[in-house]
Amino acid sequence: MKSKGLLTASFLLLVLSGIIWWSNKKAATSSKAPIESTTTNLLSIPADQFQEVEIQKRDGEAIRLQRFDSKWQIAGRKPLRADPDAISNLLTSLSSLSSDRTVEEKAASFDQYGLTRPAIELSVGDKNNKTVKILIGDQTPAGTAVYAAIAGDPRVFAISSYKRNSFDKSANDLRDRRMLEFDADKLSRVQLQSKKQSIEFGRDQQRWQIVKPSSFRADPSAVEELLRTLHDAKMDLSGTDDEEKVAAEFRSATPFAIVRVSDSSGTQELEVRKSKDDYYAKSSAAEGVFKMARNIGTGLDKSLDEFRDKKLFDFGFADPDKLEIHDGSKNYFLSRSNSDWWSNGTKLDNAEVTTLMAQIRDLTATKFANSGFTTTLLDLTVTADNGKRTERVLISKNEDRYLAKREGEPALYEVAASAVSELQKSAADLKPAAPAKK
């Protein structure tokens, strides 16, 4: 019995010792635990008040951004234009920079957080010449956040890793790599000179027209694609930094295209050359010679016919007001009242008219012709926009070819025979609307 009591006492002593050890460990751990707090704003500068931003990295790279009126530059021996979108994203991230939590209210040393020699040091100046420095250090043990501090403030914060990535930028990341700087909506002239031919586009009100080598209607989507190619023409900075080597490649390359874009502020020029499968360019809007992405060649290597509008009618998907068709001895006169179509006082079957209108709207050239138009076979006149737009198209047959032309324009369009015959059949099949059911 005595032995059993001793064993019980020893077990109780062991349990008590364990409880004391665990209690002391918890207290010690608790004293070292991070201090949770509400979100703290590390910067309180509106995005439009930034005047200067300097990014200094631990690896030695330093980037200094300066604002001049509404534009930003990357300062240096040779100042570079900064990318507006990249700068906007950077400033937005800075102006809203806040901590996720407070790690330590009064750190005795920043060494353990990687803040004595920070991975990234942000020096931010506003329009009132006030400067704030933000220090970004090492990752937290969990790896989802990094330590951060404000220079001169003993507090240590944790911010999400994705916020750090917003500032971990190189000069190439922030550089404006556009070769041409323009607003597509403000352009009035575009000239494209290539091996195929020289084409000039002019804007007539809101629609682009081909003005050289002759006056033709331009395909809106083709011109928009050309403008996108020019707007997205950017320097390829992923390769060599040897400017002399790139310049030598440009000089030895074959001339490929010259583009000029004009607006009220003047004209910018882009000269593109090709060497095997690589493209090089220089621009009046950017100093230097640069390698270009290969899509620049695809976007500029187009002929005149690829830019011409192949559609015979422009009234689009708006319902016309009137339609007049002369097909030999057959004549059709249609007018619209609200959603109903009428002919000589008779209400027509709406589905039949819709089919006919779709065929007229979709009349498209298979190719262009220089001559061959003979006696008119089919005469189509469409009135739209409450009488403001009238388009007339004449179609003739020359042997087995159907040629069309728009009134007042010299261009000849060759259209498929099937499109003409289907249109003629739909006009002949027009019938009165079914009587309304009582």
Lowest model confidence (mean pLDDT) among 35-49, 127-141, 307-321, 381-395: 35-49
* pLDDT value, residue 26: 41
* pLDDT value, residue 32: 41
Mean pLDDT calculated for residue range 334-362? 95
* pLDDT value, residue 241: 64
Which is nearest to 198 in space by CA: 281, 280, 302?
Answer: 302
Lowest model confidence (mean pLDDT) among 85-89, 200-204, 239-243: 239-243
Q: How far apart are CA 301 and CA 241, in angstroms?
A: 28
Which tokens go with 127?
Answer: 């329009």
* pLDDT value, residue 27: 40
Phi-psi region of 110 (alpha: psi -120 to 50; beta: other; left: phi over 0): alpha
> Residue 210: pLDDT band by 50, 70, 90 thresholds?
very high
Instruction: Report the percent of the chain where pLDDT is more than 70.
Output: 90
> Residue 152: pLDDT band by 50, 70, 90 thresholds?
very high
The more confident residue out of 98 and 16 is 98
> Residue 8: pLDDT band by 50, 70, 90 thresholds?
low
pLDDT over 60 at 268, yes or no = yes
pLDDT digit string (tens) for 227-246?
Answer: 999 999 999 888 666 788 99
Mean pLDDT calculated for residue range 235-259? 88
Q: pTM for the whole thing?
A: 0.77
Within a 10 A sphere around the Cβ of 204, how many other Cβ atoms? 12
* pLDDT value, residue 44: 83
Within a 10 A sphere around the Cβ of 104, how many other Cβ atoms? 19
| Ordered domains of the chain (ranges, CATH) | 47-174 (2.60.40), 184-306 (no CATH), 322-428 (no CATH)
pLDDT over 80 at 35, yes or no = no
Which is nearest to 354 in space by CA: 332, 337, 344, 339?
Answer: 339
* pLDDT value, residue 31: 40
pLDDT over 70 at 290, yes or no = yes
* Dihedral over alpha carbons 237, 240, 243, 245 (to 10 degrees): -130
